[in-house]
Amino acid sequence: QYLDAIARTDSTVCSYITVDGEQALAQARAVDARIAAGETLGPLAGVPLAIKDNICTSGTRTTAGSQILRDYVPNFDATAVSRLRGAGAVFLGKTNMDEFGMGSSTENSSFKPTRNPWDAERVPGGSSGGSAAAVAAHECAAALGSDTGGSIRQPAHFCGIVGLKPTYGRVSRYGLISYASSLDCIGPMAHTVEDAALLLSGIAGGDSHDATSSGRPVVDFAAGLATGLAAGGSRPLAGKRIGLVAQTMGEGVAPAIDEAVRAAARHLESLGATVEEVSLPTFGQGLPAYYVLALSEASSNLSRYDSVRYGARSPAATDLASLFAGSRAEGLGGEVKRRILMGTYALSAGYYDAYYKRAQQVRTLVQQEMVAALGRCDALLSPAAPSAAYKLGEKSSDPLAMYKGDLMTVNVNLAGLPALVLPAGFVPGSAEGGAELPIGLQLVGRAFDEAGLLGLGYAYE
């Protein structure tokens, strides 16, 4: 059914870079055989998933949205993928994305833009726009995305689905093609909080291949959701304190989004929670710090694409220097080059103290402030982005406008915290008769408290 849906829909939506129907059917038959042989399988067995194309899949092309990896077929699975494979999940294919995760609209894919299933004139968000659109268009049951500065949460908001960025280290990064290693996280994108919880349980946990992964025990995140809700009666969130982040409301935020978040706050109160406004004075410093740090790390991580060990080679190369230069010039896109240049600049001698070091100091302040607020509150509430999905092309020639759209999400990565985006209504269609567009809200939780965060989301939903 999902392959049929892809055949019907994906020529318009363009969620996938690679669809591997034969492999998916073979995996599904293997699950049938295991069940026929009497094996008891878990809840992910036979579930058709889509995987973002920066997450390595053994034997299936993995491009990270880049021409320099257009023919790269990994001979290993990312840990998140191998865990899902072991659980009997079925992989339909690999989803479109901004090249190396660098973007917020999926327009920076070197293959094609993805379109928002709610309105094909609009972007699905990014960089996990392919995964978000595939879930929203029912071209998969759920998907994996990755989130360095919002790439799971902002497309979840634009496409009206659930997106979870786990705590940094909760899910192994082994086999995730690196963008900014101190910020990158793999996480679930799904229709419901329960589906996201099931997927998180399937991919989380320590991994000897990733020294930054955490060995904290992984609970069954889905199991407690229904009982927790039932135990609370009509006020399941009694005793929970939610902080509405003052700096994320009002000026610069679309009025419909401001109103949707305030309505969500009232709904949380009706479920028994206390909602109070909290102030994070360093909030606005996070975005510039993020763009210095993410680009610095990217400039280092992307130096591996020399076309010797990886990637497409320039046919015009005559010696080693022209091989490096030509292959990178031809294989990397404009936004990726911009970021390598800016990151290299920020790290260079003489500028390091002014940019990189200062951004690290800001990162510490942002983190301390959020952690302190989460000492007083169980979760922080904010919009997921300042606007709903915008039109294709609207921001693609203005990188700064695109970067500014990440204001609501990047601080969470700087602080390494988990955050959940949930559907929270719609912006009505425009006077000219445009489609109504989904809006999400963002809840940020304490480090490694995905269970608490998912419990809040489940009650809200």
Q: Is 95 helix (H, G, I), strand (E, B) or coil?
A: strand
State which residue, 43 or 103, has the beta carbon closest to ligand GLN: 103
Write down the catalytic residue from 66, 82, 127, 213: 127
Q: Specify the residue, 150 or 425, whose C-beta has the smaller distance to ligand GLN.
A: 150
- Nearest-approach distance from CB 147 to ligand GLN, in angstroms: 5
Measured from the CB atom, is 89 or 366 closer to ligand GLN? 366
Complete edge-to-edge strand list for the sheet that includes strand 437-444: 16-19, 90-95, 48-52, 142-147, 185-190, 162-165, 419-427, 437-444, 379-383, 241-245, 274-278
The answer for residues whose C-beta is within 8 angstroms of residue 294's C-beta and 6 or more apart is 148, 149, 179, 180, 183, 339, 343
Residue of 151, 296, 299, 382 with catalytic role: 151
The verdict on whether 52 is a catalytic residue reads yes
Q: Name the residue number minimizing CB distance to ligand GLN.
A: 151
Query: Which residue type sits at 301?
Result: N
Tell the smallest beta-carbon distance from residue 226 to ligand GLN (Å).
Answer: 31
Measure the CA angle with vertex 215, ends 210 and 217; round to 5°.
140
State the Cα–Cα distance between residues 143 and 163, nearest whole angstrom.
10
| Cβ partners under 8 Å of residue 302, min gap 6 | 100, 332, 336, 340
What are the φ/ψ torsions at residue 272 (nearest 5 degrees)? 110, -10
Q: Smallest distance from the beta carbon of 46 to ligand GLN, in angstroms?
A: 30
**Treating both helix axes as pointing N-terminal to C-terminal, what angle do 450-460 and 255-270 enclose, rounded to 10 degrees?**
100
CB of 127 to ligand GLN, least distance (A): 4
Residue 178 Cβ vs ligand GLN, minimum distance, rounded to whole Å:
11
Identity of the residue, 88 or 418, whose beta carbon is nearer to ligand GLN in the bound complex: 418
Q: How many other C-beta atoms are found inside a 10 Å radius of the C-beta of residue 233?
A: 9
Structure tokens at 426: 């719609």
Min. distance of Cβ 243 from ligand GLN in angstroms? 23
Does residue 279 have an active-site annotation? no
Distances (CA, A) of 324 to 68, 69, 136, 295, 347: 12, 15, 40, 20, 21
| 139 touches 15 (CB < 8 A) | yes
12 or 303: whose CB is closer to ligand GLN?
Answer: 303
Q: Which residues contact 295 (CB under 8 A, 6 or more apart)?
A: 180, 339, 340, 342, 343, 346
Q: Least CB distance from residue 305 to ligand GLN, whole Å?
A: 17
For ligand GLN, which is the closer residue by CB, 215 or 284?
A: 284
End-to-end CA distance of the chain: 27
Show the tokens assigned to 419: 């955050």
Q: Note the residues at the interface with ligand GLN (CB under 6 A).
A: 101-104, 127, 147-151, 179, 294, 406
User: Based on CB atoms, which residue is closest to ligand GLN, 174 or 458?
Assistant: 174
Residues involved in catalysis: 52, 127, 151
